């Protein structure tokens, strides 16, 4: 997977020495720091950069980019390190820009329900800053990711069924281009027909076209009432059919998550859940005012009863809801505990909701044939689910079984006119799938990359090969 470096060690030393005149105490060359920044929460191993730099401002990022572009030294932006598709691998060496020190909430416009933040601000930190304004930022991928990273990967999460993804939340960006130019895209207006939609182009570009340093975000009012519930089913098909029926009836659920029996057992063990069964389970959350909530809940209960769902277990208090969703968010770590020392290969296909049952059940059948532990968890309200394929990396046959199963799941999703990635992005692991999914359109993506980054310094080797 390693690629040749497009620069000499002499050029790298020249760049480091020049930057050291103003950034000396924020340039790190130690092996430990470089290794920390050369991997995410994935199964692709570690490929450390040659140096790690902590910029404080957009202007400093621009200074670094301009100098690196001159010597063709790759730049990889780093947020919270929570990506799962090898986005942080320094395939060609280079410099990692850790944006965690750029953590200021620059403005909150409560009347217009928007805000502007530096890229290193985390999702939880933003919501903490909003707590006195009656607003919240709803995109919740589970990890306390940085908002710049979430924009770069077009992240989604448990609230996407009602509030959308980062594609819907981002209304403007500050970008540092490969040449070191600073540009602002979008704005605060709720709509615009002015020129190309550059904001949409950079959201989801995975740091390959430029570095996001600031993000303008759409916010939402905190709901008057929030109620969460859990409902178990005898079969996975019954749980999925309940979701499909709820969506077809246009129920405005805020969250609806599915865990299969194996994932539920893992969460029960890991999060010490009491009073739950290791069977296919829906986690649901309802937002709104009391009258509308009562109608939503009654309708959802009727749907679940129709498909053999057990009695709802409610979590009404903030503490109960937090415990419930904490268990859901810890599903990835719970899956790890199924095989201590093992690795987890995550899939994140997304299909039309009407095809969801076929796709999930086929994935379960294919997983059973491998003999690997493969829990399923998904944001099934919008057709997105994850199979967490747990394998022993020391067993070559298991590693290949995991990759083969992942390929089958993607192929099946594409047959149902779905996508290979609903929220994690392409990174290094899904480049072949992107070609299958988009075919000739990938050539146009390459042309955009070459036009905006002719020296190919922006996170090279990700999304596609040139």
DSSP collapsed to 3 states, 26-42: HEECCHHHHHHCCCCCC
Look up the CATH number of the domain holding residue 317.
3.30.70.2190
Number of domains into which the chain is organized? 4
Q: Is 447 part of a structural domain of the chain?
A: no
Confidence of residue 42 (pLDDT cuts 50, 70, 90): confident
Q: If DSSP codes are grouped into helix, strand and coil, which group holds residue 75? A: strand
Q: Is 446 part of a structural domain of the chain?
A: no
Domain boundary among 197, 221, 245: 221
Pair 264, 323 in one domain: yes
pLDDT value at residue 178 = 98
pLDDT at 95 over 90: yes
Confidence of residue 3 (pLDDT cuts 50, 70, 90): confident
pLDDT value at residue 254 = 93
pLDDT value at residue 290 = 86
Pair 55, 30 in one domain: yes
Pair 18, 107 in one domain: no
| pLDDT, tens digit, 9 for 90 and up, residues 179-234 | 999 999 999 998 999 999 999 999 999 999 999 999 999 999 999 999 999 999 99
pLDDT at 120 over 90: yes
Pair 200, 244 in one domain: no
Pair 266, 326 in one domain: yes
Pair 53, 107 in one domain: no
Pair 85, 107 in one domain: no
Give residue 242's domain range. 225-333
pLDDT at 388 over 90: yes
Domain boundary among 64, 81, 100: 100
pLDDT at 1 over 80: no
pLDDT at 43 over 90: no
Q: Is 124 part of a structural domain of the chain?
A: yes
- From CA 178, how far away is CA 67, in angstroms rounded? 10
pLDDT value at residue 323 = 84
Nearest C-alpha neighbor of 405 from the set 426, 388, 383: 388
pLDDT value at residue 275 = 84
Question: What is the average per-residue pLDDT within 390-395?
Answer: 94
Pair 240, 317 in one domain: yes
Pair 260, 270 in one domain: yes
Look at the chain and count its residues.
466
Q: Is 425 part of a structural domain of the chain?
A: yes
Pair 31, 91 in one domain: yes
Q: Is 22 part of a structural domain of the chain?
A: yes
Look up the CATH number of the domain holding residue 430.
3.30.70.2740
Q: Is 236 part of a structural domain of the chain?
A: yes
Look up the CATH number of the domain holding residue 121.
3.30.465.10
Question: What is the average per-residue pLDDT within 418-429?
Answer: 96
pLDDT value at residue 142 = 84
Pair 326, 434 in one domain: no
Q: Is 448 part of a structural domain of the chain?
A: no
- Can you say how many angstroms the Cα of residue 422 is from the centroid of all Cα atoms in its chain? 9
Question: What is the average per-residue pLDDT within 162-184?
Answer: 97
pTM of the model: 0.94
Confidence of residue 260 (pLDDT cuts 50, 70, 90): very high
Looking at every residue in the chain, the average pLDDT score rounds to: 94
Q: Is 462 part of a structural domain of the chain?
A: no
pLDDT above 90 as % of the chain: 83
Confidence of residue 88 (pLDDT cuts 50, 70, 90): very high
pLDDT at 321 over 90: no
Question: What is the average per-residue pLDDT within 256-274?
Answer: 93
Q: If DSSP codes are grouped into helix, strand and coil, which group holds residue 465? A: coil
Confidence of residue 291 (pLDDT cuts 50, 70, 90): confident
pLDDT value at residue 78 = 98
Question: What is the average per-residue pLDDT within 82-92?
Answer: 95
Confidence of residue 102 (pLDDT cuts 50, 70, 90): very high
Pair 406, 317 in one domain: no
pLDDT at 318 over 90: no
Domain boundary among 82, 100, 118: 100
């Amino acid at each position: 997977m390693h690629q040749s470096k497009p620069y000499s060690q002499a050029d790298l030393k020249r760049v480091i020495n020049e930057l050291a005149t103003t950034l000396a105490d924020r340039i790190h060359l130690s092996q430990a720091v470089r290794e920390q920044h050369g991997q995410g929460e994935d199964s692709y191993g570690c490929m450390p950069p040659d140096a790690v730099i902590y910029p404080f401002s957009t202007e400093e990022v621009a200074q670094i980019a301009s100098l690196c572009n001159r010597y063709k030294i790759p730049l990889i932006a780093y947020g919270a390190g929570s990506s799962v598709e090898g986005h942080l691998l320094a395939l060609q060496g280079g410099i990692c820009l850790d944006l965690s020190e750029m953590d200021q909430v620059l403005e909150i416009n409560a009347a217009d329900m928007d805000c502007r933040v530096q890229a290193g601000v985390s999702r939880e930190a933003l919501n903490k800053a909003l707590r006195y304004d009656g607003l919240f930022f709803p995109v919740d991928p589970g990890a306390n990711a940085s908002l710049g990273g979430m924009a770069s990967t077009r992240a989604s999460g448990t609230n996407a069924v009602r509030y959308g993804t980062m594609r819907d939340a981002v209304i403007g960006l500050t970008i540092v281009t490969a040449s070191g130019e600073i540009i602002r895209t979008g704005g605060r207006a709720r709509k615009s027909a002015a020129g190309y939609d550059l904001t949409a182009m950079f959201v989801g570009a995975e740091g390959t076209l430029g570095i996001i340093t600031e993000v303008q975000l759409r916010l939402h009012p905190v709901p008057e009432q929030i109620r969460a519930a859990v409902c178990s089913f005898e079969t996975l098909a019954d749980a999925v059919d309940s979701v499909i029926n709820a969506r077809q009836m246009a129920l405005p659920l805020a969250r609806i998550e599915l865990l299969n029996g194996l994932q539920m057992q893992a969460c029960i063990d890991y999060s010490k859940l009491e009073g739950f069964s290791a069977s296919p389970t829906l986690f649901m959350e309802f937002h709104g005012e009391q009258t509308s909530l009562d109608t939503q809940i009654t309708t959802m209960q009727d749907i679940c009863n129709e498909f053999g769902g057990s009695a709802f277990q409610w979590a009404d208090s903030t503490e109960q809801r937090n415990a419930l969703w904490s268990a859901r968010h810890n599903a990835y770590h719970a899956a790890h505990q199924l095989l201590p020392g093992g690795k987890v290969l995550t899939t994140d296909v997304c299909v039309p909701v009407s095809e969801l049952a076929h796709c999930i059940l086929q994935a379960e059948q294919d997983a059973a044939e491998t003999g690997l532990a493969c829990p399923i968890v998904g944001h099934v309200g919008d057709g997105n689910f994850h199979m967490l394929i747990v394998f022993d990396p020391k067993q070559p046959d298991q590693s290949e079984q995991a990759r083969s199963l992942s390929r089958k799941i993607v192929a099946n999703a594409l047959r149902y006119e779905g996508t290979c990635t609903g929220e994690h992005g392409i990174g290094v692991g899904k480049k072949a799938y992107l070609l299958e999914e988009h075919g000739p359109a990938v050539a146009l993506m390459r042309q955009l990359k070459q036009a905006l980054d002719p020296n190919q310094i922006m996170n090279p080797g990700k999304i596609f090969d040139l």
